[in-house]
Amino acid sequence: MRILHTGDWHLGKRLEDFSRLEEQQVVMNEICEIADREQADIVLVSGDIYDTFNPPTEAVDLLYKTLKKLTNGGLRPVIAIAGNHDSPDRMEAPDPLARECGIIFAGYPNTLVPIFELETGLKVTQSEEGFIELMLPVKDFPARIILTPYANEFRLKQFLDAEDSDSELRKVLQNHWQNLADRYCDNRGVNILVSHLFMIKKDGPVPEEPEDEKPILHVGGAQAIFTENIPAQIQYTALGHLHRMQEVNDSISPVYYSGSPISYSFSEANQKKYVLLVDVEPGEKADVKKVELHNVRPLLRKRANGIEEAVEWLTENQEALVELTLVTNTFITPLERRKLNSAHHGIVTIIPEVINHDLRVENRQKQIDLNRSMESLFSDYFTHENGQEPSDDIMNIFREILAEEDEE
């Protein structure tokens, strides 16, 4: 059985003022092409499908079109779980219609998927809260999938009926997974765990969570889960949340984060992006293969010594979105900023690195006087952010907003 593992799509996410929807459309098509070319039997999407609880309409349209295409006319099941960016209710809302296409949504750790069968021969033969058994049209053995979407620690314990609310989350999850595995996951089928949790090897390194990501490891979130908490029957664990593709454990039972399909912050600059193909037979160790995604607009960081070097580099890297650090003797003038933006239309951020000591000291010594008028403070802020003073039209709009606030 061949499984395609992907996740952390974050459909609808922006990078500052730059929409990523066009890039997301391209990479979603590439994932569909890989699934067809590699003849994947199942697709797992391990959470953070959207970037917000209320995604834009364009992101919702892109999701449904992508998942429908991935099902290959109902022959290939697609199982998608909620991550910490997703609304579980929104995810499950289209479930009755989605099932008719071969798409299975799980928004909650205790989601119960109904038993059903499609005309294609795809069917769910056994189901329990957080578990499904699938029979595929072209296979004579089942796929057993334990589903654990994201929930914070308190809700996870509630959903999993933890008898003692003070029990360690790792133990609660281990008992839940082991109970399901003991009842359903023998060596006559393929046994998979898919989850959106922060999982590490015990006593191993703790990877950083993505920049701009809603962290899981915080008060009210969920503690790190250890790979040793996974039942021995599980042959592959498909994880979501971390944006860099990484192997957490590749011993008897491989544990992988697929990573995001495109880079979403400059902490991911120059990262290669992948989907994972997992070949697995009943009772055998899974074989994991990385498939690099090529239709991805890169994020690049550049430190340039002066305007001329910056313009030359920007001209040579037109396809990238750029964070530019400009080493300069003085602050960037509006004319220089316009020159940079004319050379490249994908500059997300310009960071001036002033090497003139006297200017740096003078800048640090400046304090914001909050006793000044709102108009004056806004004018200074606009000048700082944009390299030029606000026009009369912009100031008039700002005054109108202030007036409306005063009326309220």
Q: What is the pLDDT of residues 249-289, one digit of tens each?
A: 878 899 999 999 999 998 888 889 999 999 999 999 999 99
pLDDT at 367: 52
312 and 263: one domain? no
CATH code of the domain covering residue 219: 3.60.21.10
117 and 47: one domain? yes
285 and 328: one domain? no
114 and 230: one domain? yes
Put residue 38 in one of left, alpha, beta given phi > 0 → left and psi -120 to 50 → alpha.
alpha
387 and 239: one domain? no
Range(s) of the domain holding residue 348: 299-407
Count of structural domains, the chain: 2
267 and 314: one domain? no
Q: pTM value?
A: 0.83
Q: Does the pLDDT value for residue 365 go beyond 50?
A: no
Q: Among residues 237, 259, 292, which one ends one of the domains? A: 292
pLDDT at 219: 36
256 and 110: one domain? yes
244 and 152: one domain? yes
Q: Does the pLDDT value for residue 38 go beyond 90?
A: yes
Q: Does the pLDDT value for residue 51 go beyond 90?
A: yes
The mean-pLDDT minimum among 20-24, 114-118, 186-190, 372-376 falls in 372-376
pLDDT at 222: 59
Q: How far apart are CA 189 and CA 116, in angstroms?
A: 19
90 and 188: one domain? yes
Q: Does the pLDDT value for residue 243 go beyond 80?
A: yes
41 and 158: one domain? yes
pLDDT at 218: 45
Q: Among residues 239, 269, 292, which one ends one of the domains? A: 292
Q: Among residues 292, 307, 336, which one ends one of the domains? A: 292
pLDDT at 203: 78
264 and 193: one domain? yes
* Mean pLDDT for the stretch of residues 234-248: 95
Residue with tokens 């454990």: 249
Assess contact for 73 and 38: CB atoms under 8 A: no
- Tens-place pLDDT, residues 396-408: 888 878 766 554 5
User: Among 65, 63, 30, 32, which residue's Cα sits nearest to residue 48?
Assistant: 63
Q: Does the pLDDT value for residue 133 go beyond 80?
A: yes
Strand partners, 158: none
Q: How far apart are CA 45 and CA 83, in angstroms?
A: 10
Task: Specify the length of the chain in residues.
Answer: 408
Average pLDDT of the residues of the chain: 88
285 and 345: one domain? no
pLDDT band at 334 (very low <50, low <70, confident <90, very high): confident
pLDDT band at 340 (very low <50, low <70, confident <90, very high): very high
pLDDT at 405: 58
Q: How far apart are CA 145 and CA 267, in angstroms?
A: 33
